[in-house]
Amino acid sequence: MPPRDHSSIPVDKLTEEQAKAELDRLAKELAAHDRRYYQEDAPIISDADYDALRRRNNAIEARFPELIRSDSPSRKVGAAPTGRFGKIRHAVPMLSLDNAFSEEDVTEFVARVRRFLKIPEDETVAFTAEPKIDGLSLSLRYEGGKLAYGATRGDGETGEDVTANVRTLDDIPERLKGRKLPEVCEIRGEVYMLHSDFLALNKRQAEAGEPVYANPRNSAAGSLRQKDAAVTASRRLKFFAYGWGEISDVPETTQSGMIEWIGEIGFRTNPLLRLCRSIEQMLAVYRDIEGKRAKLGYDIDGVVYKLDRLDWQQRLGFVSRSPRWAIAHKFAAEKATTIVNDIDIQVGRTGALTPVAKLEPVTVGGVVVQNATLHNEDYIKGIGNDGNPIRNGVDIRIGDTVIVQRAGDVIPQVLDVVLDKRPKSAKPYRFPTVCPVCGSHAVREEGEAVRRCTGGLICPAQQVERLRHFVSRDAFDIEGFGEKQVQAFFADGLVMEPADIFTLEKRDRRATKKLADREGYGEVSVRNLFAAIEARRKIPLNRLIYALGIRHVGETNAKLIARHYGTIEALRDGLTAAGKGPESEAYQELISIGGIGEVVADAVVEFFKEKRNREALDRLLDEIEVEPMEQARSDSPVAGKTVVFTGSLEKMTRDEAKAMAERLGARVAGSVSKKTDLVVAGPGAGSKLKDAQKHGVKVLSEDEWFALVK
């Protein structure tokens, strides 16, 4: 029986096991969306939907702090560089910002800053407020006043070298102005495109028969990452500076002073930036900028507030992927009204049946959209994730006039139905109970929001998707073997399973009709394809595991499993033995892997219990060589350990202590259990100290903690 999907269960109703499964699912799903947004410039969900996934992840972590994963989305920003450009490691990480979605969120943000710094209520705390540009983050390093290089954000630690391209932007100076410039100075900001330039570019693309861009953000990102700098130069990109990274001599003491200085040395800064001395002023600036949004000529998706005093910024520091001293107050998603012409059911790689509304084309926020996600059958019926009616229980029907919303994305969601415009002939939509691709029963397990095809290996939709996943960038990464080739070869019966890819050349030599004779191919292209396949006959164990497409096993879990077992032989033997049952020693070994819970373990075990899966894997292993996985290493004495702080700490605040431990790779929990490794106890420690003694957990004083972590 496959593991259950718990995405429909409210956070406060989740059991610990369900919470583990949800954190695993969210880590995988958010990593995939990060890759599509940051690497491919082609997101598939709206900003609002993405933010909702992050909020759910953060809410689960807040309720179950002991379950926070080492690869948690709350600790990551962006995605790894694509490999198309050289890599540059940022001297100071380029982090993301936490989001605020309401005035209450902003008020709480300011209150957190005051609590952390112990600032009395009668003392003024100033913040800057400026538009949040919807573009591509860029870091520019100057040495001796001269531009040394430009790098994208990448995964926050390492970005792509786009120096040649940034030199073509008029807003980026080759040399800084002024005297007594810092020897090293990194200026950071956002590359964006004006609406007028975006529309002109798409017109040129269409006239040339080239693909058009979905929105200015994607266009700016794609334009900056061109291999030919001349193409970048033709795209008329703009740049706003809003911050800095490494700087050898900080010339000002405030955020507002630094932005003014950045303008003086040659950069464009946003003229709408304001200094605010109260929450009321911050919200007033937000409303003012929101009112001007449509007339700015470029895309923004919110307002960023930053604490003005730099010494206070330094004291607050960072948490996970974002600074404590800044937050992005997001705008509400943009909306439009259109008609549902049809409802299409798409079958995904895991067999999930996903409904998509086929819309009368409509422009939403400057983007023409024709499709909208309907999420699942409950959403169509007007039932929420918690079982309560949404949209006042109004269902969605073919022919309905609906309100759609988006936030910087192509694919919006249907937000509401305009009931007084519903045609009399419109009938309630009947969600299919059979797979539209293979005809197998489509079942919905108790507690799941998703209906899935039971066809498994025989469903063409899943087979094609599994092969696409197998050859994808983070799996086998076979150049020239993309979606089009997978679909064509599958349709012709040439590649039906992974092993077929590696026997393709041998079979082609014996075939009457050669690949080179196919439309769109030739001797050179076929030779290149076979060479690309040959180059992937040797693969690291973790990439092989990820390529198998096992549910709940993303890149991170694949690495955890690979590091534990080390070799393909040990992996196959161990996971096959784990199929004997949860009481078996092999199964207990599997769930003992840090970060691997029962949901992931069950998914992996089910894969290896299936005889046809093992046979297909054996056929693949006859064709490839699997490289052993290096074991994980760490220099920190507390990396990977679970730490609890209790009592009154005297050398730093509780928040600072937690932040310090997390920087060293530890997991900070709010309660003591048998899984806790260390308890750091100050004066006044109470029940947690007793729990530590009860579970035999090592207890350190604050001084002993500092001695341990040096």
* Tens digit of each residue's pLDDT (9 = 90 or more) over 468-500: 889 998 899 999 898 888 988 988 889 988 999
Residues 6 or more apart whose CB falls under 8 angstroms from that of 441 comprise 433, 434, 435, 453, 454
Does the pLDDT at position 463 exceed 90?
no
pLDDT band at 544 (very low <50, low <70, confident <90, very high): very high
- At residue 632, the pLDDT reads 44
Does the pLDDT at position 144 exceed 90?
yes
Q: Report the distance separating Cα 193 and Cα 238, nearest Å.
A: 6
- At residue 3, the pLDDT reads 55
Q: Report the distance separating Cα 511 and Cα 493, nearest Å.
A: 13
SS (H, E, C) 86-143: CEEECCCCCCCCCEECCHHHHHHHHHHHHHHHCCCCCCCCCEEEEEEECCEEEEEEEE
- Angle value at C-alpha 298, between 193 and 327, nearest 5 degrees: 105
Nearest to 622 by CA among 558, 537, 512, 505: 537
Among the options 20, 28, 76, 132, which is catalytic?
A: 132
- At residue 1, the pLDDT reads 41
Specify the higher pLDDT residue, 135 or 210. Answer: 135
Specify the higher pLDDT residue, 539 or 641. Answer: 539
132 is a catalytic site residue:
yes
Highest mean pLDDT among 407-411, 491-495, 623-627, 639-643: 623-627
Which domains, ranges and CATH numbers included, belong to the chain? 87-330 (3.30.470.30), 336-455 (2.40.50.140), 539-627 (1.10.150.20), 642-709 (3.40.50.10190)
* Tens digit of each residue's pLDDT (9 = 90 or more) over 62-105: 788 778 887 777 765 554 544 456 889 999 999 889 999 899 99
Concatenated DSSP letters of 271-324: TT-EEESSHHHHHHHHHHHHHHGGGSSS-EEEEEEEESBHHHHHHH-EETTEET
Does the pLDDT at position 320 exceed 70?
no
- At residue 29, the pLDDT reads 87
For a pLDDT cut of 90, what percent of the chain falls above it?
Answer: 38
Average pLDDT (338-353) is: 88
For the four alpha carbons of 378, 379, 383 and 387, in that order, the dihedral sign comes to: positive
pLDDT band at 684 (very low <50, low <70, confident <90, very high): confident
**What's the chain's average pLDDT?**
85
Nearest to 6 by CA among 598, 560, 606, 416: 598
For a pLDDT cut of 70, what percent of the chain falls above it?
Answer: 90
Q: Report the distance separating Cα 246 and Cα 402, nearest Å.
A: 49
pTM of full prediction above 0.85 = no
Highest mean pLDDT among 141-155, 290-304, 628-642: 141-155
Q: Report the distance separating Cα 57 and Cα 71, nearest Å.
A: 12
Nearest to 410 by CA among 31, 33, 137, 42: 42
- At residue 446, the pLDDT reads 58
Does the pLDDT at position 43 exceed 90?
no
* Tens digit of each residue's pLDDT (9 = 90 or more) over 377-413: 999 999 876 667 888 889 999 999 998 887 544 468 8
Average pLDDT (549-566) is: 84
Does the pLDDT at position 639 exceed 70?
yes
Contacts of 261-268 with C-beta under 8 Å, sequence gap 24+, read: 262/187, 264/177, 264/178, 265/173, 265/176, 265/177, 265/178, 265/181, 266/173, 266/175, 266/176, 266/177, 267/171, 267/172, 267/173, 267/187, 267/189, 267/239, 267/241, 268/171, 268/238, 268/239, 268/240, 268/241
Specify the higher pLDDT residue, 628 or 385. Answer: 628
- At residue 682, the pLDDT reads 86
Q: Are 25 and 53 in contact (CB under 8 A)?
A: no
Rounded alpha-carbon distances, angstroms, from residue 587 to 561, 612, 675: 13, 21, 19
Q: Would you tell me how many other CB atoms lie within 10 Å of the CB of residue 675?
A: 12
pLDDT band at 631 (very low <50, low <70, confident <90, very high): low
- At residue 409, the pLDDT reads 46
Nearest to 237 by CA among 269, 172, 191: 191
Q: Would you tell me how many other CB atoms lie within 10 Å of the CB of residue 585?
A: 11
| Beta-strand pair 87-89/127-133 | unpaired
* Tens digit of each residue's pLDDT (9 = 90 or more) over 587-620: 888 887 767 888 788 878 878 877 777 888 999 9
- At residue 82, the pLDDT reads 47
